[in-house]
Amino acid sequence: MNLINNTLKHHNLRITKVRVEILSLFQTHKKALTHADLEAKYDKKFDRVTIYRTLSSFLENGLLHKIPDDSGVAKYALCHHEGTAHTHDDHHVHFKCKQCEKIECLHTLEIPKLQLPKKYKMENANLLIDGICATCNE
Amino acid sequence: MNLINNTLKHHNLRITKVRVEILSLFQTHKKALTHADLEAKYDKKFDRVTIYRTLSSFLENGLLHKIPDDSGVAKYALCHHEGTAHTHDDHHVHFKCKQCEKIECLHTLEIPKLQLPKKYKMENANLLIDGICATCNE
DNA sequence: TTACAATTGCAATTATGTTGCAAAAATACC
DNA sequence: GGTATTTTTGCAACATAATTGCAATTGTAA
């Protein structure tokens, strides 16, 4: 049993062609992807709706996370702490390059602890940083 | 000359009915609003497209800022530093309540400085915190 | 290998946001 | 004030993103 299939199983997902292909793509590609990216790649091969549903199932079962972003288009990236469904908390730092437009997760960075105002209870934190990425800053 | 009109003028915006009403609403309401919120409120009174354009003009001229959020729907909130068009930088902390779904700006909090990996250049930072807000946490 | 449950593809629908253009409104100028 | 100029509005059409229902297919447990 290979790694991809194993990962799917461990996240309570049945092993199907779309899922294997899309998960593999995320694992090699590393950067955040949109539904449109996937549709462009798998046009003819899989239905648009199937791709939407694949993304949703990955989201629900903790394989992917959604990156907040003001563009209006949902972007997804692999979760790197291997939690099972919904159990992981999302203390993510994401970086969006203004030049190449790519979004990536900065796993090495931690969001510093913050003192919230009274009675506020924090569950998740998402930090989105804009600027120029290392590749574009050569 | 009242305050609303003054604010519009200072941001190079002509004084029109939609703008006065929408700006007033933001000023009293305090929380972030979506286009759908405004459309629900001003249905029949103003055209959908006019509302979109009002939001855009406020955004361009520095009256509102867009809050990144994984819902896929654009949310807007008042800018509180009275910069003119585009001059303000968005180092915001936003809080999204999981219960009442409202988003607000936490003006008292600063985004802590972060050391980015080599060659990365930061321009803006947006921190979105999820959890339970003070009102819902009674 | 069969039986059941989950997933897929297709068509249709909804939600969100944009564009072009003529009519109306706001401001500038006298 | 009145009039010229510019901006804004409303409407219709379009574009894009995402969801739903349902029958056919596929995956998996027994």
Radius of gyration of chain A (CA): 16
Across all strands, nucleotide nearest A55 (CA–C1'): D18
Q: In chain A, what residues touch B118 (CB-CB under 8 Å)?
A: 134
The residue among A120, A124, A128, A133 with the most chain B CBs within 10 A of its CB, best to mutate, is A120
Shortest CA distance to A108 belongs to which of A130, A89, A133, A91?
A91
Which nucleotide has its C1' atom closest to residue B47's CA? D10
Instruction: Answer for A72: CB within 7 Å of strand D.
Output: yes
Distances (CA, A) of A25 to A20, A30, B51: 9, 8, 40
B114 contacts A129? CB cut-off 8 A: yes
Task: Decide if pLDDT at A124 tops 90.
Answer: no
Pick from B106, B127, B130: which is nearest to A117 by CB? B106
Q: Does residue B3 carry a pLDDT above 60?
A: yes
Q: What is the pTM of this model?
A: 0.83
Class of CATH domain A3-131 = mainly alpha
**Residue A81: what pLDDT?**
56
3-state secondary structure chain A: CCHHHHHHHHCCCCCCHHHHHHHHHHHHHCCCEEHHHHHHHHCCCCCHHHHHHHHHHHHHCCCEEEECCCCCCCEEEECCCCCCCCCCCCEEEEEEECCCCCEEECCCCCCCCCCCCCCCEEEEEEEEEEEECCCCCC
Whether B89 shows a pLDDT value over 80: the answer reads no
- The structural domains of chain A, with segments of one domain joined by +, span 3-131
CA of A47 to C1' of D20 (A): 15
CB within 7 A of strand D (chain A, 8-27): 9, 14-17
B106-132 pLDDT, tens digit each: 888 888 888 899 999 998 888 999 899
Q: Which residue is nearest to nucleotide D27 (CA to C1')?
A: A14
Return the pLDDT at B86: 40
A86 and B CB contact within 8 Å? no
